Amino acid sequence: MLIKKAAEIRGSEITPKWLYVNRRKFLAGALGVTAGALAGRTLKELAWPMQKVVAGSKLNVAQKSAFSTSEAVTPYDNVTHYNNFYEFGVGKEDPAEKAKNFRTSPWSVKVGGLVDKPRTFSVEDLMQLAPLEERIYRHRCVEAWSIVVPWVGFSLSVLLKEVAPQAKAKFVAFESFYDRGQMPEARYGGIPFPYVEGLRLDEAMHPLALLCFGMYGQTLPNQDGAPVRMVLPWKYGFKSIKSLVKIKLVDKQPPTTWNMANSSEFGFYSNVNPAVDHPRWSQAKERRLGEFSRRSTLMFNGYDQVASLYSGMDLRKNF
């Protein structure tokens, strides 16, 4: 065996981390295929086989994340039948009923703006960028209710690095799918559509920011943002935009739906902050779905890892 010193090793000779971590899965798959079957397939595709995104299908989860909370998970039925998704109605129970026939395949997400490698991805393409992991996150709604959900996905930073952000990029703008034909209830929503959201680039690059494809080990139900959404556990739920179709890197703070609709109640940052009340109710307490008692709301929803992102900011003013 030839052993080289570190200084003699070229970058191209270093085994990629994703392949090293999944080497056993790769070897098992590689031994079972013929040379013909290998033609045209990448090493990543062999390391975690292509998953077809079908509603309710089981996802291949490579690992459970160290970011996960140990709190009890909210029952699936609660999470899938108490939703904010105004494109399918303003009642909490409306989306589960009125999104049943929402078409989520085929689906693509256009990623562009201030990037060197703009690209349009299918959901299947996105799921090949990194192994899926389960993250049990607390999720806090601005209306003072909360849930704990085992989301499935990987850090948004994986996708952003894939398109190579330019130095001028400072923010990330997101846009949801909108089709009047499939979403007639949106006319009663009282907010502009398509739904848009935004983050600072450093927020979007934080490992807690999750590009999400599923929950409870399965693909996302339509009412919970199928087929791909964001999950930002330290921010109020409306920041975790559903049914993504566009991601654009920009140099100025992008508009966001609820801020445009009512800027006095919904700021751009929307970090969970029990010290800043909503104008119509307190944010100091919350109620977990399925429970009767209320609990104290935690700063950043308990995700202190993000505190450094806001060092020196007045989080009462920048709410």
Residues in CB range of 304: below 8 A, 6 or more apart: none
Per-residue pLDDT at 27 exceeds 70: no
Q: What is the mean pLDDT of residues 183-188?
A: 96
- Note the pTM of the prediction, 2 decimals: 0.84
Average pLDDT over residues 230-253: 98
Number of C-alpha atoms within 13 angstroms, CB side, residue 37? Answer: 9
What is the pLDDT, as a whole number, of residue 50? 58
Q: What is the 3-state secondary structure (H, E, C) of 243-254?
A: CEEEEEEECCCC
Backbone angles phi, psi at 46, to 5 degrees: -75, -35
| Strand residues in 181-293 grouped as ranges (E) | 196-200, 210-215, 218-219, 229-231, 244-250, 285-288
DSSP E strand boundaries for the chain: 63-64, 108-113, 119-122, 133-140, 145-155, 171-176, 196-200, 210-215, 218-219, 229-231, 244-250, 285-288, 294-296
Summarize pLDDT for 124-158 with one digit per residue, the tens: 999 999 999 999 999 999 999 999 999 999 999 99
12: helix, strand or coil: helix
Structure tokens at 147: 């849930």
**Mean pLDDT across 245-264:** 97
pLDDT at residue 16 above 60? no
Rounded to 5 degrees, φ, ψ at 121 are -110, 140
Please give the domain boundaries of the chain with CATH numbers for all domains. Answer: 23-52 (no CATH), 53-310 (3.90.420.10)
CA dist 153 to 90, 136, 219, Å? 27, 11, 10
Instruction: Determine the 3-state secondary structure of 156 from DSSP.
Output: helix
Model confidence over 31-84: pLDDT tens digits? Answer: 443 344 444 444 454 454 556 666 678 999 987 788 999 999 999 999 999 999
